[in-house]
């Protein structure tokens, strides 16, 4: 829904974890806000629809766009703990502080459960139909256990929803949890057709700022309405156990900015690093934290989680009420008050003891091992709940090739087209090129076609002689990188090494 801020009005976002809509200031100085890219870009005149090279550079390095910009200049996302006025003045509140409190896992788990129940109760009030997003992971089963615990005191109907291929651990374990609690489970299959739809949906819904693979089976929820409540647990890993993308906060360092494979024109990328740094550092505004782990968490929560995970799940919120668990101010204040060494799997081990020990007996989809040590005996179950790499390379190759076409991308004046062409060629020949990177480049091409996005001006173009020297160096860099990656890939296949 499109919102116009009238005189004296403002729009405010939560302290943490909420969906952050788009906003734009039109030629008359009016501020408009929308959850959907397709809606907000309609307010931008055709001649003003220009690609944002900083957004492109951030997306291709990190898989998300840092800060508040998008892939189109003039269209922005609102930040957390922010407030925008009808004049476009954006004010941010101070970040929730981190601390150094040391507590035992059992003590943390007891308080954590109390706060989680309080958060859950605040969401379910006035809702009779609840859909729980359930996987074979740890976070959603914690919410399942809490729902079961408070179920006798309420009159709501609970349905579980999972998506993925039938023989994956996620789908099988989700079914076991639903059966344990005698709840219906809705299984949404994933296939190449669903992925193809999601590629187009990603461009319309969020301006291609997340790859279509992250929408999974979310379109199923268009069947629901605002009388329903959908519960997600995307923040369980990062808040519950201090883990981001499989890596604990204690071991995380701030990434440096790199021109991955030299995809972006070198002369252009060098001019973007200041903007990239400023965008990422938006997360640190108004914080007194100086510990490296605190700054890393702010970066990953406000850039990675806010800009990639939240919009992907927020797609469901177009049709029904979506709420994320683990994000209440009280919960974040408590967890962030702890020394990061306290945030690990031991908290969850203790939580399961308090909530329901039977959840400990169901293996974790990530490794097929339960917290009580039981190992999955069915070796036919897959770790991944999808076949996205195979579907992209086989079924969707013509579509991806169409929008990775150098002729289409050349209009944007951002890419080193020879590099893009080589990467696509290497990918089709089964070199270990990340399929998501190829897909994101294709989606940028698709986005530019869908909305007639213009390229940047020629002021960044280097002379021909310099360009040939740069490309020669890029060719050597890519060759060396691929040789190294292929060696790791070969060792992985032969059991002598891995990522």
For the chain, the C-alpha Rg in angstroms (whole number) is 23
The pairs formed by 98-101 with CB atoms below 8 angstroms and a separation of 24 or more are 98/289, 98/291, 98/293, 98/294, 98/297, 98/336, 98/337, 99/336, 99/337, 99/338, 99/339, 100/338, 100/339, 101/337, 101/338, 101/339, 101/342
Please state the pTM of the whole predicted model: 0.90
Per-residue tokens: 85: 């006025």
Could you write out the DSSP letters of every residue in 119-179? Answer: HHHHHHTT-SEEEEE--SSSHHHHHHHHHHHHGGG---EEEEEEES-TTBHHHHHHHHHHH
How far is Cα 162 from Cα 456, in angstroms, rounded to an integer? 42
Query: Which candidate, 207, 168, 211, places its Cα nearest to that of 190?
Result: 168
Query: Which candidate, 101, 139, 147, places its Cα nearest to that of 335?
Result: 101
pLDDT at 476: 41
pLDDT at 407: 86
Could you identify the residue written with the tokens 């952050």?
20
Angle, CA 219 vertex, CA 214 and CA 220 arms, to 5°: 125
What stretches of 262-354 adopt beta strand conformation (E)?
321-324
Ranges of H-type helices in 207-309? 266-281, 292-299
177 neighbors 147 (Cβ within 8 angstroms): no
3-state DSSP assignment of residue 328 = coil
Q: Between 3.40.50.620, 3.40.50.300, 3.30.260.10, 3.10.310.70, what CATH number should domain 105-250+283-361 receive?
A: 3.40.50.620
Helices (H) and strands (E) counted in the chain, each on its own, are 17, 14
47 neighbors 428 (Cβ within 8 angstroms): no
How far is Cα 210 from Cα 189, in angstroms, rounded to an integer? 21
Q: Please list the residues that pair with 84 across neighbouring strands.
A: 11, 90
Could you identify the residue written with the tokens 């939240």?
310
290 neighbors 99 (Cβ within 8 angstroms): no
How far is Cα 77 from Cα 398, in angstroms, rounded to an integer? 32
315 neighbors 212 (Cβ within 8 angstroms): no
Backbone angles phi, psi at 92, to 5 degrees: -115, 140
Backbone angles phi, psi at 439, to 5 degrees: -65, -40
Could you identify the residue written with the tokens 């990422």?
280
Backbone angles phi, psi at 324, to 5 degrees: -95, 135
pLDDT at 466: 33
Q: Please list the residues that pair with 206 across neighbouring strands.
A: none
How far is Cα 429 from Cα 180, in angstroms, rounded to an integer? 45
pLDDT at 62: 93
Give me the tens of pLDDT residue by residue for the chain, a chain 499 residues long. Answer: 899 999 999 999 999 999 999 999 999 999 999 999 999 999 999 999 999 999 999 999 999 999 999 999 999 999 999 999 999 999 999 999 999 999 999 999 999 999 999 999 999 998 999 999 999 999 999 999 999 999 999 999 999 999 999 999 999 999 999 999 999 999 999 999 999 999 999 999 999 999 999 999 999 999 999 999 999 999 999 999 999 988 999 899 998 899 999 999 999 999 999 999 999 999 998 888 888 999 999 999 999 999 999 999 999 999 999 999 999 999 999 999 999 999 999 999 999 999 999 999 999 999 999 988 889 999 999 999 999 999 999 999 999 999 999 888 999 999 999 999 999 999 999 999 999 999 999 999 999 999 999 999 866 443 333 333 333 333 444 444 444 443 443 333 333 322 2
pLDDT at 8: 96
pLDDT at 7: 96
Task: Give the domain ranges of the chain.
Answer: 3-92, 105-250+283-361, 388-493
């Amino acid at each position: 829904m499109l919102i116009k801020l009238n005189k004296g009005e403002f729009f405010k976002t939560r302290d943490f974890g909420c969906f952050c809509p788009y906003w734009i200031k039109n030629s008359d100085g009016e501020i408009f806000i929308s959850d959907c890219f397709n809606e907000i870009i309609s307010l931008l005149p055709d001649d003003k629809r220009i690609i944002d090279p900083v957004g492109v550079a951030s997306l291709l390095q990190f898989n998300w766009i840092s800060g508040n910009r998008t892939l189109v200049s003039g269209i922005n996302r609102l930040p957390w703990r922010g407030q925008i006025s009808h004049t476009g003045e954006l004010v941010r509140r101070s970040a929730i502080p981190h601390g150094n409190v040391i507590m035992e896992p059992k003590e943390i788990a007891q308080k954590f459960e109390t706060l989680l129940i309080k958060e859950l109760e605040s969401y379910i009030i006035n809702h009779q139909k609840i859909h729980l997003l359930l996987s074979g992971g740890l976070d959603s089963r914690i919410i399942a256990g809490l729902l079961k615990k408070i179920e006798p005191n309420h009159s709501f109907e609970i349905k579980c929803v999972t998506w993925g291929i039938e023989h994956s651990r996620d789908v099988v374990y989700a079914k076991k949890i639903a059966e344990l609690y005698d709840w219906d489970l809705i299984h949404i299959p994933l296939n190449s057709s669903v992925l193809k739809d999601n590629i187009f949906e990603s461009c319309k819904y969020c301006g291609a700022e997340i790859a279509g693979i992250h929408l999974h089976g979310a379109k199923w929820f268009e069947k629901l309405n605002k009388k329903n409540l959908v519960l997600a647990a995307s923040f369980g890993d990062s808040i519950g156990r201090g883990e981001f993308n499989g890596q604990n906060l204690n071991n995380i360092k701030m990434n440096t900015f790199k021109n991955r494979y030299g995809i972006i024109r070198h002369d252009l990328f060098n001019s973007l690093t200041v903007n990239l740094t400023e965008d990422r550092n938006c997360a640190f505004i108004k914080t007194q934290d100086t510990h490296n782990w605190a700054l890393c968490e702010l970066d990953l929560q406000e850039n990675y989680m806010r800009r990639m995970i939240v919009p992907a799940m927020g797609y469901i919120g177009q049709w029904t009420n979506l709420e994320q668990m683990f994000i209440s101010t009280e919960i974040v204040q408590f967890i962030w008050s702890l020394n990061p060494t306290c945030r690990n799997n031991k908290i969850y081990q203790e939580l399961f003891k308090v909530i329901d020990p039977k959840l400990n007996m169901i293996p974790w989809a990530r490794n097929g091992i339960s917290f009580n040590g039981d190992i999955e005996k069915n070796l036919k179950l897959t770790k991944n709940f999808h076949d996205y790499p195979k579907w992209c390379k086989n079924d969707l190759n013509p579509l991806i090739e169409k929008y990775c076409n150098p002729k289409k991308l050349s209009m944007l004046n951002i890419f080193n087209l020879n590099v893009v062409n080589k990467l696509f060629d290497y990918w089709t020949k089964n070199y270990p090129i990340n399929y998501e990177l190829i897909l994101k480049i294709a989606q940028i091409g698709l986005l530019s076609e869908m909305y007639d996005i213009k390229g940047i001006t020629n002021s960044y173009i280097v002379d021909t002689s310099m360009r040939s020297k740069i490309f020669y160096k890029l060719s050597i860099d890519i060759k060396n990188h691929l040789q190294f990656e292929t060696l790791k890939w070969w060792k992985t296949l032969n059991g002598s090494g891995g990522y």
